[in-house]
Amino acid sequence: MVKDRQNDRLSYDAVFESFNLYVSALHHDVSASLRHSNGFATLLKEDVKTDPDALENWTEQIINASQKGQTILQLLTQCMRRALATNNPERITKLEEIVGRLELSSALSFDVSQDPFTDPVKLEEIYLALDKSLHMVSSAPEACTIRTVREEGRRYLRIVGTTPSTAVRETNVDRFFMPMKFDQGDFSDVRDPVVFQVKITAAALHGNATAAMTSDGLLQIEVVLPDFPDVYPETPVSAEGAETAGA
C-alpha cells in the first residue's frame, strides 16, 4: 500500500485533473457544435422555424455555462488537493451528518464510508463543486452519480452521468481517457489538444482509466487509483484520537 502521503496527493491531483479536463472537453465539444451544420444547429432546426431567437438563446446558455464551469472546476481542484485525510469510524459519522445536510441539485450518490476525501472542513465544498459540475454538463442531472468503490484491494473512482448528445456518442466515447503511453511516437490521430492532455493524464495513472456508454445511454468513467490504506485503522481509535477526528 502507498505510505508516502506526497505520492497520495499526486495521485489525487492526477485523477481530478483528468476529471477537470474531461468536463472542459465536453464544454469544448458543445461550443464547437454550434459552429457546424450538425450538432445543435440540426437539433434546433425545427425550433428555429417557430422561434427565430432559439439558436441565439442556446448559444448564450452554452457560453455562460462554460464560463461558470471553469470557475467551478478550479474550485474543485483546489478542494481536492486539500482534502486528503485518514478515515475512522468517528470521522465517518461526522461526515454522514454533513452530507445529510447538503442540498444538492442533482441526485449525486456518495458512499462516505468508502470516500477517501474526508476532511470535514472541505467536504461540503467538494461535494457541492462536484454537484454543480456534473449538473452543468448533464442532460439528466437526476441520473448522475459519483462514488468511490473498494474492490480487490483497489480503490475505484466511478463517475456516471448523462452528457449532451452532441458531445459524447457511442462512436467517440473512447477518446476520453483512452490510455496512452508517454513513449508513443505517433500522435497524428490526436487532433484536439484538450483530449490529448486527458489521455496523457490517464497514462500517468498507469492507463487505468476507461470510459464507456452503459446500456441505458449513460457515460460511465472509471479511474483505478493506487492502493491506499484501509478505510478504518487497524488499531482501535483512542479517546483523544476520536475527539480530534470528530472536530
**59-95 confidence digits (pLDDT tens):** 565 555 555 545 544 444 443 333 333 445 565 555 5
Residue 206 backbone class (left: φ over 0; alpha: ψ -120 to 50; beta: rest): left
pTM of this structure:
0.29
Distances in whole angstroms, Cα of residue 47 to Cα of each of 34, 107, 235: 15, 30, 64
Mean pLDDT of 146-155: 56
Q: What is the pLDDT of residue 26?
A: 47
Name which of 214, 114, 201 is nearest 161 in CA terms: 214
Q: What is the pLDDT of residue 148?
A: 54
* Four-residue CA torsion sign, 77, 150, 209, 164: negative
User: Cell for 85?
Assistant: 485525510
Query: Would you list the DSSP string of 140-165?
Result: -GGG-EEEEEEETTEEEEEEEE---T
- Owning domain of residue 157: 5-246
Q: What is the pLDDT of residue 150?
A: 59
* Averaged pLDDT score across all residues of the chain: 47
Q: What are phi and psi of 157, to 5 degrees?
A: -105, 115
- Of 103-112, 130-139, 178-187, the one with minimum mean pLDDT is 178-187
Q: What are phi and psi of 161, to 5 degrees?
A: -165, 155
pLDDT band at 126 (very low <50, low <70, confident <90, very high): very low
Give the percent of the chain with pLDDT over 70: 0
Mean pLDDT of 40-55: 55
Return the higher-pLDDT residue of 97 and 129: 97
Q: Compute the distance between CA of residue 224 and CA of residue 207 in angstroms, rounded to an integer.
A: 9
Q: What is the pLDDT of residue 149?
A: 57
* Whether pLDDT at 50 is above 60: yes
* Whether pLDDT at 136 is above 50: no
Total domain count, the chain: 1
